[in-house]
Amino acid sequence: MVRFQNVGMRYGMGPEVLRDVSFELPPGSFHFLTGPSGAGKSTLLKLLYLAERPTRGMISLLGEDPTLLPRRRLPVLRRRIGVVFQDFRLLPHLTALENVALPLRIAGGREEEIVAHVRELLTWVGLGDRMEARPPTLSGGEQQRVAIARAVIGRPSLLLADEPTGNVDAEMGLRLLRLFVELNKLGTTVLVATHDRALIRSAERPVLRLDHGELSRPGREAA
């Protein structure tokens, strides 16, 4: 599903923020990615959702080498990847419903199906009564749930979440985690970047730990 081999990454002329990163996510797996602030978690995810290119090393993603794909073929690959951005990146002038529907509309789905599907999911994440609200009028936690709904609406093969529970209380955090687990059971490969130790403990999934751009001992988080 995903394989990194000796991947290095630097922003412009800056220092390497990822060094010799090698790991593999088998299809259908569920991993956490953790590490101190500035360790490079978001950067690693950017390589996975094709917002940045590695400066060295090899990446294999959903059976493709993204560095070799022509630009016009990237959208189809990206539609198979759901992303929850650390800063949400919702479109402020669209309603919650329109934001969540966007990936389906871009991919060209049937309008009635899209709306029914989006309503169902927003209700599931507890936003049934906020569907017509615009993101600036939503709380941080509500915006986060809209962002998560947008990431999972297209049933991605790979789900990448960057601090998806940073703005919600513990109970809602567990509820959202359950959404990821459900999706994982349906076959989606999941990678969740988080500082939240309680969340990591509760899920009992393998953990990748980044420190200063280097990956250390993959394994389970010690309790």
Footprint of another protein (CB under 8 A): 49-52, 71-72, 74-76, 78-79, 83, 89, 91, 93-94, 98, 102-103, 105-107, 150
Q: Any idea what the Cα angle at residue 77 is, between residues 74 and 82, rounded to 5°? A: 120
Concatenated DSSP letters for 4-28?
A: EEEEEEESTTS-EEEEEEEEEE-TT
Residue 188 binds Mg ion, judged by CB under 5 A: no
Element (H, E) at 123: helix 111-124
Nearest to 36 by CA among 172, 212, 205: 212
Asked if residue 194 binds Mg ion (CB under 5 A), the reply is: no
- Between 51 and 58, name the residue whose CB sits nearer to another protein: 51
Residue 17 touching ligand ATP (CB under 6 A): yes
Q: Which is nearer to ligand ATP, 84 or 153 (CB)?
A: 84
Q: Fill in the amino acid letter for 10.
A: R
3-state secondary structure of 133: coil
Q: Which does 39 bind (CB under 5 to 8 A by kind): Mg ion, another protein, ligand ATP, none?
A: ligand ATP
In the complex, the smallest distance separating the C-beta of residue 68 from Mg ion, rounded to whole angstroms, is 27
> Token pair for residue 126?
């507890």
Is residue 153 classed as helix, strand or coil in its secondary structure? Answer: coil
What is the spatial distance between Cα 160 and Cα 23, in angstroms, rounded to a whole number? 15
The answer to whether 42 contacts Mg ion (rule: CB under 5 A) is yes
Query: How far apart are CB 210 and another protein at their closest, in Å?
Result: 22
In angstroms, the CA 191 to CA 136 distance is 28
Residues 121-160, interacting with Mg ion (CB under 5 A) = none
The CB-of-189 to another protein minimum distance in angstroms stands at 17
Least distance from C-beta 54 to another protein, angstroms? 14
Give yes or no for residue 40 binding ligand ATP (CB under 6 A). Answer: yes
Q: Which residue number, 81 or 200, has a Cβ lying nearer to another protein? A: 81
Pairing of strands 2-10, 56-61: antiparallel
